[in-house]
């Protein structure tokens, strides 16, 4: 399952290369799936997706558990929905992901995703690696 020396990506023209990871997000109730590139974000406590992904996954955005959260753009309402996140050979348990109306890119945060892995980021070479800890 390890993701080794995965190159940083540029998603938008003129943007800085960042550690984006290709993932599949799954609604465990409908089995609807969406493939996307999500930013590895060690500063985010939770995983978050733009609100537009809720309908693609079969969720009714506003039927999710609402909560107020603080972002770089101020306070916003996020709606939590149960999902799974899949990468090469690894799928999370059911986790609640925040769907946010003012978010533009998917974020992989600590509690529901990154806490499963040993993350190594090599900024000079613009690569990152993920591996499961030995148990």
Q: Digits of tens for pLDDT over the chain (135 positions)?
A: 578 899 999 988 888 999 999 999 999 999 999 999 999 999 998 999 999 999 999 999 999 999 998 877 788 899 999 999 999 889 999 999 999 998 999 999 999 999 999 999 999 999 999 999 987
Any domain includes 18: no
Any domain includes 16: no
Any domain includes 17: no
Distance CA 20, CA 39 (A): 4
Distance CA 86, CA 57 (A): 14
pLDDT of residue 74: 81
Residue ranges making up the domain that contains 110: 3-11+24-131
Rounded to 5 degrees, what angle do the CA atoms 39, 94, 75 make? Answer: 50
User: pTM for the full model?
Assistant: 0.91
Structural domains of the chain, count:
1
Any domain includes 19: no
Which CATH number fits the domain that encloses residue 40? 2.40.70.10
């Amino acid at each position: 399952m390890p993701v080794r020396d995965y190159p940083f990506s540029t998603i938008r023209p003129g943007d800085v290369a960042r550690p984006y990871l290709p993932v599949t997000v799954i609604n465990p109730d409908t089995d609807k799936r969406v493939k996307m590139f999500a930013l590895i974000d060690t500063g985010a406590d939770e995983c978050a997706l733009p609100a537009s992904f809720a309908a693609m996954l079969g969720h009714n955005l506003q039927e999710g558990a609402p909560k107020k959260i603080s972002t770089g753009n101020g306070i916003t309402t996020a709606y939590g929905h149960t999902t799974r996140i899949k990468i090469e050979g690894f799928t999370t348990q059911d986790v609640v992901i925040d769907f946010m109306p003012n978010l533009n890119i998917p974020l992989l945060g600590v509690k529901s995703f990154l806490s499963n892995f040993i993350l190594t980021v090599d900024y000079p070479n613009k690569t990152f690696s993920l591996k499961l800890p030995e148990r």
